[in-house]
Amino acid sequence: MKNDNIPNQDVLTPLHSWISNACKNGAVPVISGKNGDMDTIGSAISLAASHPNMMACGTHLGRISRRVCEELNAPLKMVSHKSDLPRQLGGIVVVDAASPGQVGVTLPENIPKCIIDHHTSNSWELMKDDLYVNLPVSATAEIIARYLNMNAPETLTEPVRKLLLAGLLTDSGRFKHNNSDSFKTASILLENTNINYAEFVEWLETNEVNDSERGSLVRGLQRSKATISGNWSIIHTYCGTLEGRLAGLLLGTGHDISLVCRTRGGETRMTARASKQAVAQGIRLSEIMSKVAQQIGGEGGGHDGAAGWTGQTDKITAETSFISHVARITRSSE
Ligand SMILES: [Mn+2]
């Protein structure tokens, strides 16, 4: 069966023509999205490496991107205003941003732009010479990997492969929510290289956490307590930083729900995660957090399997409210 999701020549050939033409006319900044995540940064730097007239630019580096770029010596020009972009532009490429608002810098007018993205919807306004490339893949890095493999394979050096792999790994949640094409892209990135995949994944994950954060995570784990709330098991704790990461680690113990509290400067935050099975059987964390907000004030929301709440009450009150709302949910058999 033909898989229409695979980035193919139908998209990558016009992309190559657009880039070649733009590079003939001048400098071409490749601008990353303002969240500065590994996908957008890895995509921008890798694509920019394929032509001397291209330059990776961005307004922000996220925590993982910053460390990976430092380790790999990957160049990204920080820009805060359109005047920071090169003069005599031949075009502008934007990677991994679904709207102009996600770029972080106002783009100059009357310059052809090319948007490369994988978000399901977008609010870009396209002009005559603009090109919009969107594929239903797990990461923009996948589109770039396929493009470079086809049109500029010499660009796929080991650091570039690692940048793209890091983008793919982080955007697909370590291949937890990807489609099968992501494995093909990963295979393209790994084949004929000396990259040790297992070591690379470990490096990427341990690189996210520094010494003091590591201590904070361990203390959070040591303080954790398991509670049965109605039909559900909850593992909960508190910590000073990296609540999301700690909640993810705690969920690995096999409980239905993990809950992490953090209090700082009179503000309490709760971060919760639920297993896929718990969600399938009726847990909607975003609804629970909204109900907590209705009961004790503050703001709550998120997704079914990952949600948060922030407010002014102490952590015991917040935790108690969360746990009592979970107790009221009946467990359905799938
Ligand atoms: Mn992305």
CA of 1 to the centre of ligand 1 (A): 27
CA of 35 to the centre of ligand 1 (A): 10
Token pair, residue 149, equals 């493999």
Residues that place a CB less than 5 A from ion ligand 1 = 39, 96, 140, 171
Cβ atoms of 132 and 126 within 8 Å: the answer is: yes
CATH fold for the domain made of 9-206: inorganic pyrophosphatase (n-terminal core) (3.90.1640)
CA of 182 to the centre of ligand 1 (A): 13
**CATH code given to domain 211-327:** 3.10.310.40
Domain-wise residue ranges, the chain = 9-206, 211-327
Phi-psi domain of 30 (left: phi exceeds 0; alpha: psi -120 through 50; beta: other): beta
CA of 133 to the centre of ligand 1 (A): 13
CA of 40 to the centre of ligand 1 (A): 6
Give the pLDDT confidence of 274-323 residue by residue, as tens digits.
Answer: 998 999 999 999 899 999 999 999 988 877 888 889 999 999 999 999 99
CA of 20 to the centre of ligand 1 (A): 24
CA of 228 to the centre of ligand 1 (A): 37
Tell me the pLDDT band of 3, cut-offs 50, 70 and 90: very low
State the DSSP string of 63-90: HHHHHHHHHHT---EE-SSGGGSPSSBS
The residues, ordered by sequence, that sit 6+ positions from 243 with a Cβ below 8 Å of its Cβ are 260, 261, 262, 269, 271
CA of 220 to the centre of ligand 1 (A): 30
CA of 209 to the centre of ligand 1 (A): 21
Give the pLDDT confidence of 91-139 residue by residue, as tens digits.
Answer: 999 999 988 988 999 999 999 999 999 887 788 999 999 999 999 888 9
Burial letters 307-317, b for 16+ CB under 10 A, else e: bbbbbebeeeb
CA of 142 to the centre of ligand 1 (A): 9
CA of 96 to the centre of ligand 1 (A): 5
Give the pLDDT confidence of 35-90 residue by residue, as tens digits.
Answer: 899 999 999 999 999 999 999 999 999 888 998 999 999 989 999 999 999 989 99
CA of 139 to the centre of ligand 1 (A): 5
